[in-house]
């Protein structure tokens, strides 16, 4: 059966970084709903324009639009063996839809790592975060500097600060996470899928914990 992993945690907990590393180690596809919206935004699609109005305010894009985008992505051939889902689902409606989609493929969510961090750490991480324009690789101005300032080590593209990573929007995003996404922790805990990991440990340590949980 294909392996689908859902990464849960507040913005800045390290979901994107861990998803990249897990995908590299497991060869599963990495699906980031935020990256998909940003790609649409860059290409000025209708979906991108719609998403922008919500993203700029730090709010969630409506469920139906988000679910359709993920359904499309999950049907691509690189998801046949499964995927690491980063940023989706973010509401109980999305989680129900995911369960339904995966059951159509004869699959289900295997594991839900829940990555935690204190609010001060989240704000520090997000406000110092720089993202690569081409593929969304993540850096930090203090904790994880690129070799050359402003340039992605992996693909040489420009690094930029996401509009929604600016201080004003960050607190709002954390509030939205608490109100709309935190109920998913209980949703997945009830079915025994949650493993809680302290996201304030070193990046490699978190990856190793996640990889050994996946092997079990």
**What is the contact surface with ligand AMP in residues (CB under 6 A)?**
11, 33-34, 37, 54-55, 58-61, 66, 87-88, 90, 94, 164, 173
- Where do the DSSP E strands lie in 78-154? 82-86, 109-116, 129-132, 138-140
Least CB distance from residue 39 to ligand AMP, whole Å? Answer: 11
Residue with nearest beta carbon to ligand AMP: 34
Catalytic residue status for 173: yes
Which of 75, 148 has the CB closer to ligand AMP? 75
User: 58 or 113: whose CB is closer to ligand AMP?
Assistant: 58
Q: Report d(CA 125, CA 117) in Å as an integer.
A: 10
138 beta partners: 131
Location of structure tokens 């600016």: 166
Distances (CA, A) of 190 to 81, 91, 112, 183: 26, 16, 12, 11
The smaller minimum CB distance to ligand AMP, of residues 54 and 105, is found at: 54
Is 162 noted as a catalytic residue in this protein?
yes
Active-site residue (options: 52, 73, 125, 129): 129
All residues at 6 or more sequence positions from 45 whose CB lies less than 8 Å from its CB, including other chains: none
Q: Give whichever of 58 and 199 is closer to ligand AMP, judged by the CB atom.
A: 58
Which residue out of 38, 52, 73, 90 is catalytically annotated? 90
Please tell me the number of Cα atoms within 13 Å of 201 on its side-chain side.
13
Task: Please list the residues that pair with 74 across neighbouring strands.
Answer: none
125 noted as active-site residue: no
Tell me which of 173, 189, 193, 216 is the catalytic residue.
173
Minimum CB–partner distance for residue 215 and ligand AMP (Å): 26
Under a CB-based contact definition with an 8 Å cutoff, are residues 90 and 33 in contact? yes
Catalytic residue among 15, 38, 73, 193: 15
Residue closer to ligand AMP by CB (options 20, 164) is 164
157, 114, 120: which is closest to 138 by C-alpha? 157
Query: Considering the complex, what minimum distance in angstroms separates the CB of residue 77 from ligand AMP?
Result: 23
Q: How far is the CB of 212 from ligand AMP (least distance, A)?
A: 25
Active site residues: 15, 90, 129, 162, 173
């Amino acid at each position: 059966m294909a392996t689908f992993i859902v990464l849960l945690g507040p913005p800045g907990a390290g979901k994107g970084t861990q998803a990249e590393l897990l995908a590299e180690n497991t060869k599963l596809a990495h699906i980031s709903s935020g990256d998909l919206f940003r790609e649409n935004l860059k290409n000025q699609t209708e979906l991108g324009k719609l998403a922008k109005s919500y993203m700029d305010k730090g709010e969630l894009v409506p469920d139906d639009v988000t679910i359709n985008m993920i359904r499309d992505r999950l049907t691509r051939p690189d998801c046949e063996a499964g995927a690491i889902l980063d940023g989706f689902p973010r509401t109980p409606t999305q989680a129900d839809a995911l369960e339904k989609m995966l059951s159509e493929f004869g699959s289900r969510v295997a594991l839900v790592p829940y990555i935690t961090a204190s609010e001060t750490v989240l704000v520090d991480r997000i406000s110092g975060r720089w993202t690569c324009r081409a593929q969304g690789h993540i850096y930090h101005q203090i904790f994880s500097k690129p070799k050359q300032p402003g340039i992605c080590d992996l693909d040489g593209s420009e690094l930029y600060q996401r509009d929604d990573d600016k201080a004003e929007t960050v607190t709002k995003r954390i509030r939205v996470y608490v109100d709309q996404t935190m109920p998913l922790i209980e949703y997945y805990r009830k079915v025994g899928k949650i493993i809680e990991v302290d996201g304030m440990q070193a990046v490699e340590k978190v990856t190793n914990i996640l990889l050994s949980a996946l092997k079990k």
